[in-house]
């Protein structure tokens, strides 16, 4: 782990397993920081009031968390290619982090053979519920938005609902499986 100072009251942790650290730090630091934000290779601690004793914390395995979500998909997307539907069905994904839009989760676990670059020109509009991949990630667009990921299908599952106490269905550490709708 490398710890970088981030401005006035932030710390950026460069770690091998950001979501594992997020899950562990959330238990240890809840009252000492304003927010803990996992990302691709880092965990940001915002508003640090007390320097965390990081040496007493070790990352948690995401797969052991009790949150698991199954996403039923109609595989009718314009960017399907050979073997990808089977790979999506066979992979146990983990939410590594959220970003881009509220409730948009970056899912890791897709075998490298199925990694594809994002579209050179993003689509102006991607429908809500679109199941998509780009780079090492899979994701589901929680609402209609522009987007450059490869579209594989659509789910009717509601991923983000502000009327619920926990508005995001896919939170960091959640285990995700895709099935046929």
Binding site for other proteins (CB under 8 A): 4-10, 12, 22, 34-44, 46-47, 97-104, 162, 167-168, 171-172
Nearer to other proteins, 8 or 113 (CB): 8
- What's the closest the beta carbon of residue 43 comes to other proteins, in angstroms? 8
Decide: 136 and 91 in contact? Cβ < 8 Å. no
Residue 98: closest CA among 48, 47, 167, 31: 167
d(CA 154, CA 145): 14
Whether 107 contacts 138, CB under 8 Å: yes
**Which is closer to other proteins, CB of 56 or CB of 163?**
163
Size of the chain in residues? 181
Shortest Cβ 44–other proteins spacing (Å): 3
The span from the CA of 80 to the CA of 21, in Å, is 34
C-beta of 34 vs 180, nearer to other proteins: 34
Q: Which is nearer to other proteins, 39 or 85 (CB)?
A: 39
Choose between 82 and 166: whose C-beta lies nearer to other proteins: 166
Give the pairing type, strands 123-126 and 68-73. unpaired
Closest approach of other proteins to the CB of residue 143, in Å: 8
Question: In angstroms, what is the minimal distance from the CB of 74 to other proteins?
Answer: 25
CB of 70 to other proteins, least distance (A): 20
Decide: helix, strand or coil at residue 23.
Answer: helix
CB of 100 vs other proteins, minimal distance in Å: 7
CB within 8 Å of 112: residues ≥ 6 apart: 136
Whole-number Å distance between alpha carbons of 1 and 13: 7
Which one, 38 or 77, has the nearer CB to other proteins?
A: 38
């Amino acid at each position: 782990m490398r710890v970088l100072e981030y401005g006035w009251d932030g710390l950026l942790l460069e770690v091998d397993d950001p979501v594992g650290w997020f899950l562990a730090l959330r238990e240890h630091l809840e009252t000492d920081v304003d927010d803990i934000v996992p990302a691709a290779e880092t965990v940001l601690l915002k508003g640090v009031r007390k320097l965390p004793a990081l040496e007493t914390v070790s990352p948690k395995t995401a797969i052991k968390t009790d949150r698991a979500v199954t996403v039923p998909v109609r595989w009718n997307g314009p960017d399907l290619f050979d073997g990808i539907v089977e790979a999506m069905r066979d992979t146990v994904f983990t939410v590594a982090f959220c970003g881009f839009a509220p409730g948009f989760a970056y899912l890791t676990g897709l075998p490298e053979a199925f990694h594809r670059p994002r579209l050179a020109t993003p689509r102006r509009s991607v429908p809500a519920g679109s199941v998509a991949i780009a780079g090492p990630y899979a994701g589901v667009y929680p609402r209609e938005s522009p987007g450059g990921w490869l579209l594989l299908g659509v789910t009717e599952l509601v991923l983000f609902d502000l009327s619920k106490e926990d508005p995001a269905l896919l939170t960091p550490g959640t285990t995700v499986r895709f099935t046929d709708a």
